[in-house]
Amino acid sequence: MVRVTLPDGSKLEIANGTTAKQLAEKIGPGLARAAIAAKINGQLADLSTPITADATIQIITLTEAEGLEILRHSCAHIMAEAVCSIWPAAKLVYGPTVEDGFYYDIDLDEPISPSDFERIEKKMYEIAKADKPFIRKERSRSEALTKLASDRYKTDNINRTDSDVISFYSHGDGFEDLCRGPHLPSTGKVVAFKIMSVAGAYWHGDPTQKMLQRVYGTAWPTKKELDAYLQRLEEAKKRDHRVLGKQLDLFSFNEAGPGFAFIHPKGMIVWNAIVEFWRGVHNKYGYEEIKTPIILNEQLWHKSGHWDNYKENMYFTRFDDTAYAIKPMNCPGGCLVYKTRQHSYREFPMRVAELGLVHRHEASGVMHGLFRVRQFTQDDAHIFCTPEQIKPEIIGVIELAFEIYRAFGFEDFHIELSTKPAKHIGSDEIWDISTSALKDALKHKEIEHKINEGDGAFYGPKIDFHIRDCLKRSWQLGTIQLDFSMPQRFELVYTDKDNTEKTPVMIHRAILGSFERFIGILIEHYGGNLPLWLSPEQVVVLPISEKSNDYAKIVEKKLRDAQLRVGCDLSDEKIDAKIAKAHSRKPPYMLVVGPKESQSGTVNVRIRGDKKTKTVEVDKFIAMANRKIAEKKVGLTLED
């Protein structure tokens, strides 16, 4: 007999060798039906695993995250069998679970296309319906290597594990795959899945290796959950900033300039609203602003180190027999401004901001709407200071960043620290000093952070700010980068207290990162429903009929005089059509006006996302709207 402890703390005596499945049956028939795996002493295992010693055991069902993962992993195996049965030449490489699904990397020369998904799924349903048991078979390492000697991928997988026992899983019909497991008891538990996409993926993520075909799928405990997931994807698609940017007429792209965004009038309203706010906050934090040229002599970029470290991403041009580069970063320009006169320690810290337009030639396959472009405006700044000022300055930047993020409604952000990369300039000592300065500042603010070893910029370590949008996707925004090298390369100096010339420390930092990307993130975060202060069209006046057009024009003028961004629909459509048309532009407020309103000097307010309307005096509405704008309120509810 062995003693098992269940999650609720209760203990049970069972015969030695009882399987987890039998244990589940003992606990209850409901649990036995729902059981798909077990966690024995914290280790996931198949339901068929015999219990041979005292243990803490949890029966895993599909309601647990681990259960869902097992389901998806088993589904990946079923897909693998289906693919192998359709293309016998297919060689399986690696098939893990990912968030919301799974994929399997397959080496097959014939391309798998979306039109093949249906027959793969059909085959998968056959396998699932047959309800074949997943059977684990263990072999010794040498036995396994012998068995799979002809399979370079599986041999590689075995060589990458350190376990002496190598397990295989089969589910009948001779299909067997090397796998750590655990798996579902049988294929019949898989009822709701879908092949989502296929894309290339390098073996081991190494571009010098063969490109494999990665088939993505998703699997859920029930059809209903699968449908809900697909529905969620549809909703997410509607929030895509590339779709909304077109629909709301904010920006566009053109073949004439791949990766270069065209910002439309409405997009510029959002842009300028952000800039205005940004300037205000930076002024408060003691920044001054400069603007430096976009095109600068190539020699400058040799001096800065960009030529050696960033050339592949730079645009170059040539005229009057002179080579020029189009700036990918603002720092060299900033250094030249610094050098135009002498500086004293008394001026420090000098916080010099620049909304700098930079060009970076990104690889063609990485462009993605406004999120990844080849030309963008950085909200850059360079802080020149003494070594003692590093820590307080970094703390200041962190506070500034948080203040700005919160104003845009982002509360969920996290920070990552990146250290010295293989390709770098500057001595190890300098890197150590600057890395610990960043760590100290984070420690002081008690900010949790992830560390990315070797991920820093070539000139110094950095802190990155990442935010999550409402779909929980993470995007990098700001960055703080310490730089001891650039000031030396540019021979920047200041006169210290002791009347000697010293090299200042330079801190590069951006808060929003790129205006283009940030606007894209805002659009997705709000699903196009921008807060009042950012909305291109804040209010739209809709007369009931032509008879109320004059009153509508009066209201429109009043709102415009009060600095509100207002539109007015004087077309000969019915009010329903006017509302529907305005709706697609997502204005925060629609003001319906007819004879009633014109008599009482009121407007009937229809708030975005709310069908209930409320009649208020025009002046009251204006005061309310302007108050919300001033306070950057996200909510639109009319309060008195």
Which amino acids are annotated catalytic? 331, 360, 378, 380, 382, 462, 508
Out of 139, 152, 264, 368, the only residue in the binding site for RNA (CB under 7 A) is 368
Stretch that binds RNA, among 51-59, 331-339, 407-415, 580-588 (CB under 7 A): 580-588
Gap between the Cα atoms of 81 and 87, Å rounded: 10
Stretch that binds RNA, among 29-37, 106-114, 342-350, 533-541 (CB under 7 A): 106-114
Question: Closer CB to RNA, residue 59 or residue 592?
Answer: 592
Binding track over 587-626 against RNA, x by CB under 7 A? ---x-xxxxxx------x-x--x-x-x-------------
Out of 574, 619, 623, 627, the only residue in the binding site for RNA (CB under 7 A) is 574
Outline where 538-638 has alpha helix (H): 549-561, 575-583, 595-600, 618-631
- Cβ of residue 327: shortest distance to RNA, in angstroms? 14
Measured CA to CA in angstroms, residue 49 lies from 19, 185, 585 at distances of: 5, 11, 59
* Contact present, 220 and 226 (Cβ < 8 Å): yes
Stretch that binds RNA, among 45-53, 142-150, 151-159, 454-462 (CB under 7 A): 454-462
Question: Closer CB to RNA, residue 111 or residue 265?
Answer: 111
Gap between the Cα atoms of 615 and 333, Å rounded: 55
3-class DSSP string for 148-198: CCCCHHHHHHHHCCCCCEEEEEECCCCCEEECCCCCCCEHHHCCEEEEEEE
- Cβ of residue 610: shortest distance to RNA, in angstroms? 9
Out of 107, 131, 151, 573, the only residue in the binding site for RNA (CB under 7 A) is 573
Gap between the Cα atoms of 101 and 196, Å rounded: 9
Binding track over 120-159 against RNA, x by CB under 7 A? ----------------------------------------
Which residues touch 228 (CB under 8 Å, ≥6 apart)? none
Question: Closer CB to RNA, residue 144 or residue 325?
Answer: 325
Out of 291, 547, 557, 627, the only residue in the binding site for RNA (CB under 7 A) is 547
Gap between the Cα atoms of 269 and 175, Å rounded: 60
Out of 15, 130, 199, 451, the only residue in the binding site for RNA (CB under 7 A) is 199
Contact status: 360 vs RNA (CB under 7 A): yes
- Cβ of residue 43: shortest distance to RNA, in angstroms? 28
The beta-strand segments (E) located in 186-294 are 192-202, 211-220, 251-252, 262-263, 288-289
- Cβ of residue 205: shortest distance to RNA, in angstroms? 3
Contact status: 198 vs RNA (CB under 7 A): yes
Length of the chain: 640
Cis peptide before 182 (omega within 30 of 0): yes
Contact status: 544 vs RNA (CB under 7 A): yes
Stretch that binds RNA, among 39-47, 125-133, 182-190, 456-464 (CB under 7 A): 456-464
Binding track over 1-40 against RNA, x by CB under 7 A? ----------------------------------------
Which residues touch 171 (CB under 8 Å, ≥6 apart)? 77, 78, 81, 127, 132, 133, 134, 135, 183, 186, 187
* Contact present, 70 and 182 (Cβ < 8 Å): yes
Out of 88, 207, 265, 635, the only residue in the binding site for RNA (CB under 7 A) is 207
Other Cβ atoms less than 10 A from the Cβ of 473: the count is: 12
- Cβ of residue 148: shortest distance to RNA, in angstroms? 24
- Cβ of residue 540: shortest distance to RNA, in angstroms? 11
Contact status: 581 vs RNA (CB under 7 A): yes
Question: Closer CB to RNA, residue 58 or residue 538?
Answer: 538
Contact status: 113 vs RNA (CB under 7 A): yes
Contact status: 583 vs RNA (CB under 7 A): yes
Binding track over 470-489 against RNA, x by CB under 7 A? ------x--x----------
Nearest in space to 104 (alpha carbons), one of 126, 84, 131, 133: 84
**What DSSP designation does 513 have?**
E
Question: Closer CB to RNA, residue 435 or residue 479?
Answer: 479
**What DSSP designation does 21 have?**
H
Nearest in space to 587 (alpha carbons), one of 638, 541, 640: 541
Out of 42, 88, 265, 365, the only residue in the binding site for RNA (CB under 7 A) is 365
- Cβ of residue 200: shortest distance to RNA, in angstroms? 3
Residue 23 host element (H or E): helix 20-27
Out of 30, 114, 286, 293, the only residue in the binding site for RNA (CB under 7 A) is 114
Helix and strand totals (H; E) in the chain: 20, 35
Binding track over 303-322 against RNA, x by CB under 7 A? -------x--x---------
Stretch that binds RNA, among 41-49, 69-77, 429-437, 578-586 (CB under 7 A): 578-586
Question: Closer CB to RNA, residue 67 or residue 259?
Answer: 259
Measured CA to CA in angstroms, residue 527 lies from 319, 461, 497 at distances of: 45, 34, 54
* Contact present, 519 and 528 (Cβ < 8 Å): no
* Contact present, 242 and 249 (Cβ < 8 Å): no
Total interface residues for RNA by CB under 7 A: 70
User: In a 3-state reduction of DSSP, which class is residue 431?
Assistant: helix
Gap between the Cα atoms of 500 and 305, Å rounded: 27
Which residues touch 627 (CB under 8 Å, ≥6 apart)? 633
| Residues at the site binding RNA, with contacts judged by CB under 7 A | 111, 113-114, 197-202, 205-207, 211, 213-214, 242, 246, 253, 255, 258-259, 310, 313, 360, 362-369, 372, 416, 452, 455, 457-458, 462, 464, 476, 479, 513, 544-547, 572-577, 579-581, 583-584, 590, 592-597, 604, 606, 609, 611, 613
